[in-house]
Structure 1
Protein backbone atom coordinates (compact mmCIF):
# COMPACT_ATOMS: atom_id res chain seq x y z
CA UNK A 1 0.00 0.00 0.00
CA UNK A 2 1.39 3.39 -1.03
CA UNK A 3 1.11 6.30 1.39
CA UNK A 4 2.00 9.90 0.58
CA UNK A 5 2.92 12.11 3.49
CA UNK A 6 4.88 15.20 4.44
CA UNK A 7 7.70 14.43 6.84
CA UNK A 8 10.94 15.45 8.52
CA UNK A 9 13.99 13.18 8.76
CA UNK A 10 14.76 12.94 12.48
CA UNK A 11 17.27 10.07 12.45
CA UNK A 12 19.40 8.23 9.91
CA UNK A 13 21.24 4.92 10.11
CA UNK A 14 23.41 3.21 7.51
CA UNK A 15 22.20 -0.23 6.46
CA UNK A 16 24.36 -2.56 4.43
CA UNK A 17 26.67 -1.22 1.75
CA UNK A 18 24.39 1.25 0.05
CA UNK A 19 21.15 1.71 1.99
CA UNK A 20 19.82 3.80 4.86
CA UNK A 21 17.08 3.43 7.40
CA UNK A 22 15.57 6.77 8.29
CA UNK A 23 13.18 7.74 11.04
CA UNK A 24 10.54 10.15 9.77
CA UNK A 25 8.21 12.31 11.81
CA UNK A 26 5.31 12.76 9.46
CA UNK A 27 2.27 14.97 9.35
CA UNK A 28 -0.27 12.19 8.79
CA UNK A 29 1.40 8.95 9.95
CA UNK A 30 3.35 10.02 13.02
CA UNK A 31 6.83 8.62 13.59
CA UNK A 32 7.76 5.79 11.24
CA UNK A 33 10.90 3.97 10.06
CA UNK A 34 11.59 3.79 6.34
CA UNK A 35 14.15 1.88 4.27
CA UNK A 36 15.79 4.05 1.59
CA UNK A 37 17.49 1.73 -0.87
CA UNK A 38 20.64 3.04 -2.52
CA UNK A 39 20.66 6.26 -0.48
CA UNK A 40 24.40 6.02 0.26
CA UNK A 41 25.37 5.77 -3.42
CA UNK A 42 26.87 8.94 -4.90
CA UNK A 43 24.43 9.20 -7.78
CA UNK A 44 21.37 8.06 -5.85
CA UNK A 45 18.24 10.07 -6.49
CA UNK A 46 17.39 9.57 -2.82
CA UNK A 47 20.65 10.81 -1.24
CA UNK A 48 19.28 14.32 -0.60
CA UNK A 49 15.88 13.28 0.74
CA UNK A 50 17.47 10.86 3.24
CA UNK A 51 19.61 13.46 5.03
CA UNK A 52 19.00 14.50 8.63
CA UNK A 53 16.68 17.51 9.08
CA UNK A 54 15.29 17.30 5.54
CA UNK A 55 11.65 18.33 5.27
CA UNK A 56 10.08 16.63 2.29
CA UNK A 57 7.20 14.99 0.52
CA UNK A 58 7.46 11.20 0.79
CA UNK A 59 5.71 8.34 -0.98
CA UNK A 60 6.15 5.19 1.12
CA UNK A 61 5.26 1.61 0.43
CA UNK A 62 3.96 0.28 3.74
CA UNK A 63 3.27 -3.40 4.21
CA UNK A 64 3.24 -5.31 7.47
CA UNK A 65 6.94 -4.58 8.05
CA UNK A 66 9.08 -1.46 7.80
CA UNK A 67 8.11 1.00 5.07
CA UNK A 68 10.19 1.46 1.93
CA UNK A 69 10.67 4.79 0.19
CA UNK A 70 9.05 4.73 -3.24
CA UNK A 71 9.57 8.41 -4.06
CA UNK A 72 10.66 11.58 -2.29
CA UNK A 73 10.97 15.29 -3.05
CA UNK A 74 12.67 17.76 -0.68
CA UNK A 75 10.59 20.76 0.40
CA UNK A 76 13.38 22.27 2.48
CA UNK A 77 16.80 20.68 2.88
CA UNK A 78 17.92 22.95 5.74
CA UNK A 79 21.36 23.07 4.21
CA UNK A 80 22.02 26.22 6.24
CA UNK A 81 21.78 24.09 9.38
CA UNK A 82 24.08 21.31 8.18
CA UNK A 83 26.74 23.83 7.12
CA UNK A 84 26.92 25.46 10.58
CA UNK A 85 28.28 23.44 13.52
CA UNK A 86 26.32 25.32 16.17
CA UNK A 87 23.02 25.24 14.29
CA UNK A 88 23.50 21.55 13.49
CA UNK A 89 24.24 20.71 17.14
CA UNK A 90 21.09 22.40 18.43
CA UNK A 91 18.96 21.03 15.59
CA UNK A 92 20.26 17.52 16.35
CA UNK A 93 19.00 17.84 19.92
CA UNK A 94 15.69 19.20 18.67
CA UNK A 95 15.05 16.17 16.45
CA UNK A 96 16.37 13.76 19.08
CA UNK A 97 13.74 15.05 21.52
CA UNK A 98 11.05 14.08 19.04
CA UNK A 99 12.70 10.83 17.91
CA UNK A 100 13.17 9.53 21.46
CA UNK A 101 9.91 10.71 23.02
CA UNK A 102 7.20 10.51 20.37
CA UNK A 103 5.37 7.15 20.13
CA UNK A 104 5.43 5.16 16.91
CA UNK A 105 2.75 5.69 14.28
CA UNK A 106 0.67 8.18 16.30
CA UNK A 107 0.13 11.41 14.33
CA UNK A 108 0.51 14.64 16.28
CA UNK A 109 -0.06 17.61 13.99
CA UNK A 110 0.74 20.18 16.67
CA UNK A 111 4.12 18.61 17.47
CA UNK A 112 4.88 18.22 13.77
CA UNK A 113 4.28 21.95 13.22
CA UNK A 114 6.36 22.84 16.27
CA UNK A 115 9.31 20.72 15.11
CA UNK A 116 9.14 22.25 11.65
CA UNK A 117 8.95 25.76 13.13
CA UNK A 118 11.86 24.99 15.47
CA UNK A 119 14.11 23.89 12.61
CA UNK A 120 13.15 26.97 10.63
CA UNK A 121 13.88 29.23 13.61
CA UNK A 122 17.35 27.70 14.04
CA UNK A 123 18.01 27.98 10.30
CA UNK A 124 17.03 31.66 10.40
CA UNK A 125 19.50 32.38 13.18
CA UNK A 126 17.05 32.82 16.05
CA UNK A 127 18.33 31.91 19.52
CA UNK A 128 18.73 28.13 19.28
CA UNK A 129 18.96 27.62 23.04
CA UNK A 130 15.59 29.29 23.55
CA UNK A 131 14.14 27.14 20.75
CA UNK A 132 15.22 23.91 22.44
CA UNK A 133 13.97 25.03 25.87
CA UNK A 134 10.54 25.70 24.38
CA UNK A 135 10.55 22.26 22.77
CA UNK A 136 11.69 20.68 26.04
CA UNK A 137 8.64 22.19 27.73
CA UNK A 138 6.41 20.73 25.04
CA UNK A 139 8.01 17.31 25.51
CA UNK A 140 7.52 17.52 29.28
CA UNK A 141 3.86 18.43 28.73
CA UNK A 142 3.43 15.55 26.28
CA UNK A 143 4.94 13.16 28.84
CA UNK A 144 2.62 14.39 31.59
CA UNK A 145 5.28 16.27 33.55
CA UNK A 146 4.62 19.91 32.73
CA UNK A 147 6.00 21.94 35.68
CA UNK A 148 3.54 23.85 37.85
CA UNK A 149 4.85 27.41 37.60
CA UNK A 150 1.75 29.43 38.42
CA UNK A 151 1.43 28.62 42.14
CA UNK A 152 3.27 26.90 44.95
CA UNK A 153 2.92 23.17 44.45
CA UNK A 154 2.58 22.68 48.21
CA UNK A 155 0.18 25.37 49.44
CA UNK A 156 -1.11 27.04 46.26
CA UNK A 157 0.29 30.49 47.01
CA UNK A 158 0.64 32.62 43.89
CA UNK A 159 2.57 35.66 45.10
CA UNK A 160 5.89 36.42 46.75
CA UNK A 161 9.35 34.97 46.27
CA UNK A 162 9.49 31.50 44.75
CA UNK A 163 12.10 28.79 44.35
CA UNK A 164 12.20 26.15 41.64
CA UNK A 165 11.86 22.56 42.81
CA UNK A 166 12.09 19.94 40.03
CA UNK A 167 11.65 17.12 42.54
CA UNK A 168 8.33 18.62 43.60
CA UNK A 169 7.24 19.39 40.07
CA UNK A 170 7.28 23.18 40.06
CA UNK A 171 7.68 26.19 42.36
CA UNK A 172 7.64 26.50 46.13
CA UNK A 173 6.90 29.70 48.05
CA UNK A 174 9.11 31.08 50.82
CA UNK A 175 7.01 29.33 53.47
CA UNK A 176 7.29 25.94 51.79
CA UNK A 177 10.81 26.01 50.32
CA UNK A 178 12.16 23.95 53.25
CA UNK A 179 10.44 20.96 51.62
CA UNK A 180 13.31 20.89 49.12
CA UNK A 181 16.77 21.87 50.35
CA UNK A 182 18.03 21.59 46.77
CA UNK A 183 15.47 24.02 45.38
CA UNK A 184 16.83 26.63 43.01
CA UNK A 185 16.28 30.35 43.69
CA UNK A 186 14.84 32.08 40.63
CA UNK A 187 14.08 35.71 39.92
CA UNK A 188 10.69 36.93 38.78
CA UNK A 189 12.21 37.45 35.31
CA UNK A 190 13.36 33.83 35.06
CA UNK A 191 9.97 32.63 36.21
CA UNK A 192 8.23 34.78 33.57
CA UNK A 193 10.44 33.31 30.87
CA UNK A 194 9.80 29.73 32.00
CA UNK A 195 6.06 30.41 31.98
CA UNK A 196 6.42 31.87 28.50
CA UNK A 197 8.15 28.69 27.34
CA UNK A 198 5.02 26.78 28.35
CA UNK A 199 2.73 28.94 26.23
CA UNK A 200 4.67 30.10 23.20
CA UNK A 201 4.07 28.72 19.72
CA UNK A 202 7.40 28.27 17.93
CA UNK A 203 5.77 29.50 14.73
CA UNK A 204 5.38 32.89 16.42
CA UNK A 205 8.85 33.06 17.98
CA UNK A 206 10.46 36.48 17.70
CA UNK A 207 14.09 37.54 17.86
CA UNK A 208 14.34 38.84 21.42
CA UNK A 209 17.85 38.67 22.90
CA UNK A 210 18.51 36.90 26.20
CA UNK A 211 21.64 37.62 28.22
CA UNK A 212 24.16 34.82 28.74
CA UNK A 213 23.73 34.84 32.52
CA UNK A 214 19.97 34.49 32.10
CA UNK A 215 20.48 31.62 29.67
CA UNK A 216 22.68 29.82 32.20
CA UNK A 217 19.91 29.92 34.81
CA UNK A 218 17.28 28.84 32.27
CA UNK A 219 19.49 25.95 31.20
CA UNK A 220 19.94 24.79 34.80
CA UNK A 221 16.20 25.02 35.41
CA UNK A 222 15.25 23.05 32.31
CA UNK A 223 17.94 20.45 32.94
CA UNK A 224 16.52 19.97 36.41
CA UNK A 225 13.06 19.13 35.09
CA UNK A 226 14.24 17.09 32.10
CA UNK A 227 16.62 14.94 34.15
CA UNK A 228 14.18 14.47 37.02
CA UNK A 229 11.27 13.21 34.91
CA UNK A 230 12.74 11.85 31.66
CA UNK A 231 15.23 9.04 32.16
CA UNK A 232 17.02 9.52 28.87
CA UNK A 233 20.70 9.94 28.02
CA UNK A 234 20.60 12.52 25.24
CA UNK A 235 23.49 11.95 22.84
CA UNK A 236 23.16 15.30 21.11
CA UNK A 237 22.88 17.18 24.42
CA UNK A 238 26.23 15.73 25.47
CA UNK A 239 27.75 17.17 22.31
CA UNK A 240 26.21 20.57 23.09
CA UNK A 241 27.86 20.43 26.51
CA UNK A 242 31.23 19.59 24.96
CA UNK A 243 30.83 22.38 22.43
CA UNK A 244 30.13 24.85 25.24
CA UNK A 245 32.96 23.53 27.42
CA UNK A 246 35.58 23.87 24.73
CA UNK A 247 34.00 27.00 23.22
CA UNK A 248 33.77 25.48 19.75
Structure 2
Protein backbone atom coordinates (compact mmCIF):
# COMPACT_ATOMS: atom_id res chain seq x y z
CA UNK A 1 0.00 0.00 0.00
CA UNK A 2 1.33 3.43 -0.98
CA UNK A 3 0.90 6.26 1.51
CA UNK A 4 1.61 9.97 1.21
CA UNK A 5 2.44 11.39 4.61
CA UNK A 6 3.69 14.69 5.98
CA UNK A 7 6.45 14.21 8.51
CA UNK A 8 9.69 15.11 10.22
CA UNK A 9 12.85 12.97 10.20
CA UNK A 10 13.65 12.09 13.82
CA UNK A 11 16.24 9.38 13.16
CA UNK A 12 18.39 8.29 10.23
CA UNK A 13 20.74 5.29 10.45
CA UNK A 14 23.12 4.14 7.69
CA UNK A 15 22.36 0.64 6.40
CA UNK A 16 24.92 -1.00 4.17
CA UNK A 17 26.98 1.02 1.73
CA UNK A 18 24.23 3.10 0.16
CA UNK A 19 20.99 2.80 2.15
CA UNK A 20 19.51 4.45 5.23
CA UNK A 21 16.83 3.41 7.70
CA UNK A 22 14.78 6.53 8.32
CA UNK A 23 12.31 7.13 11.13
CA UNK A 24 9.70 9.82 10.57
CA UNK A 25 7.12 11.22 12.91
CA UNK A 26 4.20 11.77 10.59
CA UNK A 27 1.04 13.82 10.89
CA UNK A 28 -1.19 11.02 9.63
CA UNK A 29 0.30 7.82 11.05
CA UNK A 30 2.56 8.73 13.96
CA UNK A 31 6.02 7.19 14.05
CA UNK A 32 6.96 5.29 10.90
CA UNK A 33 10.25 3.64 9.95
CA UNK A 34 11.18 2.98 6.33
CA UNK A 35 14.11 1.85 4.22
CA UNK A 36 15.50 4.60 1.99
CA UNK A 37 17.36 2.69 -0.69
CA UNK A 38 20.29 4.55 -2.21
CA UNK A 39 19.83 7.52 0.15
CA UNK A 40 23.57 7.67 0.85
CA UNK A 41 24.48 8.00 -2.81
CA UNK A 42 25.48 11.62 -3.61
CA UNK A 43 23.15 11.87 -6.61
CA UNK A 44 20.16 10.21 -4.98
CA UNK A 45 16.95 12.24 -4.83
CA UNK A 46 16.50 10.94 -1.28
CA UNK A 47 19.66 12.56 0.13
CA UNK A 48 18.06 15.89 1.04
CA UNK A 49 14.75 14.52 2.31
CA UNK A 50 16.34 11.97 4.66
CA UNK A 51 18.51 14.44 6.58
CA UNK A 52 17.80 14.62 10.31
CA UNK A 53 15.17 17.24 11.30
CA UNK A 54 13.93 17.67 7.72
CA UNK A 55 10.23 18.46 7.39
CA UNK A 56 8.70 17.16 4.20
CA UNK A 57 6.09 15.19 2.29
CA UNK A 58 6.91 11.51 1.86
CA UNK A 59 5.65 8.66 -0.30
CA UNK A 60 6.05 5.40 1.64
CA UNK A 61 5.17 1.89 0.50
CA UNK A 62 3.99 -0.17 3.47
CA UNK A 63 3.85 -3.94 3.58
CA UNK A 64 4.05 -6.53 6.33
CA UNK A 65 7.54 -5.55 7.39
CA UNK A 66 9.45 -2.31 7.20
CA UNK A 67 8.16 0.19 4.69
CA UNK A 68 10.10 1.63 1.78
CA UNK A 69 10.60 5.34 1.22
CA UNK A 70 9.92 5.79 -2.48
CA UNK A 71 9.89 9.58 -2.83
CA UNK A 72 10.10 12.72 -0.78
CA UNK A 73 9.64 16.44 -1.17
CA UNK A 74 11.40 18.81 1.19
CA UNK A 75 9.15 21.47 2.72
CA UNK A 76 11.65 22.90 5.21
CA UNK A 77 15.23 21.74 5.67
CA UNK A 78 15.46 23.37 9.13
CA UNK A 79 18.78 24.79 7.98
CA UNK A 80 19.47 26.97 11.00
CA UNK A 81 19.16 24.01 13.34
CA UNK A 82 21.86 22.07 11.52
CA UNK A 83 24.19 25.08 11.37
CA UNK A 84 23.94 26.13 15.04
CA UNK A 85 25.52 23.87 17.68
CA UNK A 86 23.17 24.82 20.52
CA UNK A 87 20.06 24.58 18.33
CA UNK A 88 21.17 21.19 17.01
CA UNK A 89 21.90 19.87 20.52
CA UNK A 90 18.50 20.79 21.94
CA UNK A 91 16.66 19.65 18.80
CA UNK A 92 18.45 16.29 19.00
CA UNK A 93 17.23 16.00 22.58
CA UNK A 94 13.67 16.87 21.56
CA UNK A 95 13.48 14.29 18.79
CA UNK A 96 14.98 11.65 21.08
CA UNK A 97 12.27 12.31 23.67
CA UNK A 98 9.60 11.91 21.00
CA UNK A 99 11.27 8.79 19.62
CA UNK A 100 11.70 7.09 23.01
CA UNK A 101 8.20 7.81 24.32
CA UNK A 102 6.22 6.81 21.23
CA UNK A 103 5.58 3.45 19.58
CA UNK A 104 5.87 2.51 15.92
CA UNK A 105 2.70 3.03 13.85
CA UNK A 106 0.90 4.60 16.80
CA UNK A 107 -0.50 8.10 16.37
CA UNK A 108 -0.58 10.00 19.66
CA UNK A 109 -2.74 13.10 19.79
CA UNK A 110 -0.78 16.34 19.95
CA UNK A 111 2.70 14.87 19.50
CA UNK A 112 3.12 15.78 15.84
CA UNK A 113 1.97 19.35 16.42
CA UNK A 114 4.28 19.67 19.44
CA UNK A 115 7.25 18.35 17.46
CA UNK A 116 6.57 20.57 14.47
CA UNK A 117 6.05 23.71 16.56
CA UNK A 118 9.20 23.01 18.60
CA UNK A 119 11.45 22.53 15.56
CA UNK A 120 9.90 25.45 13.73
CA UNK A 121 10.44 27.75 16.74
CA UNK A 122 14.06 26.72 17.14
CA UNK A 123 14.63 27.12 13.41
CA UNK A 124 13.19 30.65 13.76
CA UNK A 125 15.91 31.21 16.38
CA UNK A 126 13.80 31.19 19.53
CA UNK A 127 15.61 30.01 22.66
CA UNK A 128 16.14 26.26 22.11
CA UNK A 129 16.58 25.59 25.83
CA UNK A 130 13.19 27.14 26.62
CA UNK A 131 11.57 25.28 23.71
CA UNK A 132 12.96 21.98 25.01
CA UNK A 133 11.25 22.66 28.34
CA UNK A 134 7.89 22.80 26.55
CA UNK A 135 8.59 19.39 25.04
CA UNK A 136 9.85 17.87 28.29
CA UNK A 137 6.78 18.94 30.27
CA UNK A 138 4.23 18.13 27.57
CA UNK A 139 5.68 14.70 26.75
CA UNK A 140 5.27 13.52 30.35
CA UNK A 141 1.64 12.68 29.64
CA UNK A 142 2.69 10.63 26.61
CA UNK A 143 4.94 8.66 28.96
CA UNK A 144 1.98 8.07 31.28
CA UNK A 145 2.82 10.72 33.87
CA UNK A 146 0.12 13.31 34.61
CA UNK A 147 1.42 15.98 37.00
CA UNK A 148 -1.18 17.75 39.13
CA UNK A 149 -0.61 21.40 38.28
CA UNK A 150 -4.02 23.08 38.61
CA UNK A 151 -4.46 22.63 42.36
CA UNK A 152 -2.87 21.17 45.49
CA UNK A 153 -2.46 17.44 44.99
CA UNK A 154 -3.63 16.79 48.57
CA UNK A 155 -6.26 19.29 49.67
CA UNK A 156 -7.18 20.66 46.20
CA UNK A 157 -6.55 24.27 47.25
CA UNK A 158 -5.88 26.72 44.44
CA UNK A 159 -4.55 29.61 46.52
CA UNK A 160 -1.58 30.04 48.84
CA UNK A 161 2.12 29.27 48.68
CA UNK A 162 3.12 26.20 46.71
CA UNK A 163 5.90 23.65 46.36
CA UNK A 164 6.51 20.86 43.87
CA UNK A 165 6.24 17.40 45.36
CA UNK A 166 7.94 14.51 43.59
CA UNK A 167 6.01 12.13 45.82
CA UNK A 168 2.67 13.53 44.65
CA UNK A 169 4.03 14.47 41.21
CA UNK A 170 2.47 17.89 41.39
CA UNK A 171 1.94 21.02 43.42
CA UNK A 172 1.20 21.00 47.13
CA UNK A 173 0.12 24.11 49.05
CA UNK A 174 1.64 25.46 52.27
CA UNK A 175 -1.02 23.66 54.29
CA UNK A 176 0.31 20.34 52.98
CA UNK A 177 4.06 20.92 53.00
CA UNK A 178 4.30 18.40 55.86
CA UNK A 179 3.25 15.58 53.50
CA UNK A 180 6.56 15.73 51.65
CA UNK A 181 9.61 17.08 53.43
CA UNK A 182 11.60 16.81 50.20
CA UNK A 183 9.26 19.05 48.19
CA UNK A 184 10.77 22.02 46.36
CA UNK A 185 9.39 25.47 47.15
CA UNK A 186 8.45 27.50 44.10
CA UNK A 187 7.61 31.15 43.51
CA UNK A 188 4.33 32.30 41.91
CA UNK A 189 6.27 33.07 38.71
CA UNK A 190 7.81 29.59 38.63
CA UNK A 191 4.39 28.03 39.18
CA UNK A 192 3.00 30.05 36.28
CA UNK A 193 5.88 29.02 34.03
CA UNK A 194 5.46 25.31 34.81
CA UNK A 195 1.76 25.55 33.93
CA UNK A 196 2.68 27.38 30.72
CA UNK A 197 5.18 24.74 29.67
CA UNK A 198 2.75 21.92 30.43
CA UNK A 199 -0.46 23.34 28.95
CA UNK A 200 0.09 26.23 26.53
CA UNK A 201 0.93 25.51 22.85
CA UNK A 202 4.35 26.75 21.77
CA UNK A 203 2.77 28.71 18.94
CA UNK A 204 0.68 30.70 21.43
CA UNK A 205 3.57 31.87 23.59
CA UNK A 206 5.81 33.84 21.25
CA UNK A 207 9.37 34.68 22.24
CA UNK A 208 9.62 33.47 25.84
CA UNK A 209 12.75 34.96 27.40
CA UNK A 210 13.98 33.45 30.65
CA UNK A 211 17.05 33.83 32.81
CA UNK A 212 19.47 30.91 32.81
CA UNK A 213 18.87 30.29 36.52
CA UNK A 214 15.12 29.99 35.95
CA UNK A 215 15.55 27.50 33.11
CA UNK A 216 17.99 25.42 35.15
CA UNK A 217 15.56 25.27 38.10
CA UNK A 218 12.57 24.22 35.98
CA UNK A 219 14.72 21.79 34.02
CA UNK A 220 15.89 20.09 37.23
CA UNK A 221 12.30 19.49 38.33
CA UNK A 222 11.06 17.95 35.08
CA UNK A 223 14.18 15.84 34.56
CA UNK A 224 13.89 14.45 38.07
CA UNK A 225 10.41 13.25 37.11
CA UNK A 226 11.80 11.54 34.01
CA UNK A 227 14.61 9.93 36.02
CA UNK A 228 12.56 8.78 39.01
CA UNK A 229 9.14 8.06 37.50
CA UNK A 230 9.89 6.97 33.93
CA UNK A 231 13.44 5.73 34.31
CA UNK A 232 14.25 6.77 30.74
CA UNK A 233 17.86 7.59 29.87
CA UNK A 234 18.40 10.02 27.00
CA UNK A 235 21.79 9.81 25.30
CA UNK A 236 21.62 13.38 23.99
CA UNK A 237 21.30 14.78 27.50
CA UNK A 238 24.99 14.01 28.11
CA UNK A 239 26.00 16.43 25.36
CA UNK A 240 23.65 19.10 26.75
CA UNK A 241 25.30 18.66 30.14
CA UNK A 242 28.68 19.13 28.46
CA UNK A 243 27.49 22.41 26.93
CA UNK A 244 26.43 23.54 30.40
CA UNK A 245 29.86 22.84 31.86
CA UNK A 246 31.76 24.17 28.82
CA UNK A 247 30.06 27.47 27.90
CA UNK A 248 33.08 28.42 25.79
CA UNK A 249 31.78 26.00 23.14
CA UNK A 250 28.93 28.40 22.40
CA UNK A 251 28.96 32.00 21.17
CA UNK A 252 28.46 34.64 23.85
CA UNK A 253 24.84 35.80 24.15
CA UNK A 254 23.38 38.70 26.08
CA UNK A 255 21.78 37.87 29.40
CA UNK A 256 17.98 38.14 28.99
CA UNK A 257 15.54 40.06 31.16
CA UNK A 258 12.47 38.18 32.31
For 1:97, the equivalent position in structure 2 comes to: 97
1:97 Cα deviation after fit: 1.2
- Is the Cα–Cα contact under 8 Å of residues 34 and 67 in structure 1 kept in the other structure? yes
1:38 Cα deviation after fit: 1.1
For 1:160, the equivalent position in structure 2 comes to: 160
**Aligned to 1:150, what secondary structure does the other structure show?**
coil
Correspondences of 1:71-110 after superposition (within 5 Å) = 71-108=71-108, 110=110
* Equivalent-residue separation in structure 2 for 1:88 and 1:51 (angstroms): 13
Correspondences of 1:175-194 after superposition (within 5 Å) = 175-194=175-194
1:109 Cα deviation after fit: 5.4
| TM-score normalised to structure 1 length | 0.95
Correspondences of 1:22-171 after superposition (within 5 Å) = 22-108=22-108, 110-171=110-171
Which sections of structure 1, spanning at least 5 residues, go unmatched? none
Cα deviations by residue, 1:10-42 (Å, 9 ceiling, x for unpaired):
011111111110111111111011101111122
For 1:216, the equivalent position in structure 2 comes to: 216
For 1:235, the equivalent position in structure 2 comes to: 235
* Equivalent-residue separation in structure 2 for 1:58 and 1:205 (angstroms): 30
- Is the Cα–Cα contact under 8 Å of residues 130 and 208 in structure 2 kept in the other structure? no
What is the aligned-residue RMSD (CA, Å)? 1.4
* Equivalent-residue separation in structure 2 for 1:35 and 1:2 (angstroms): 14
For 2:254, the equivalent position in structure 1 comes to: none
1:81 Cα deviation after fit: 0.5
1:113 Cα deviation after fit: 1.6
1:144 Cα deviation after fit: 3.0
* Equivalent-residue separation in structure 2 for 1:10 and 1:143 (angstroms): 18
Cα deviations by residue, 1:91-146 (Å, 9 ceiling, x for unpaired):
11111111111122122452212211110100111121221111112211223312
Cα deviations by residue, 1:60-86 (Å, 9 ceiling, x for unpaired):
111111001111111111111001100
For 2:6, the equivalent position in structure 1 comes to: 6
Task: Provide the aligned length of Structure 1 versus Structure 2.
Answer: 248
* Equivalent-residue separation in structure 2 for 1:213 and 1:136 (angstroms): 17
* Equivalent-residue separation in structure 2 for 1:109 and 1:71 (angstroms): 26
Query: Which runs of structure 1 show a deviation greater than 4 angstroms over 4 or more consecutive aligned residues?
Result: none
| TM-score normalised to structure 2 length | 0.92
* Equivalent-residue separation in structure 2 for 1:198 and 1:233 (angstroms): 21
- Is the Cα–Cα contact under 8 Å of residues 5 and 57 in structure 2 kept in the other structure? yes
Which sections of structure 2, spanning at least 5 residues, go unmatched? 250-258
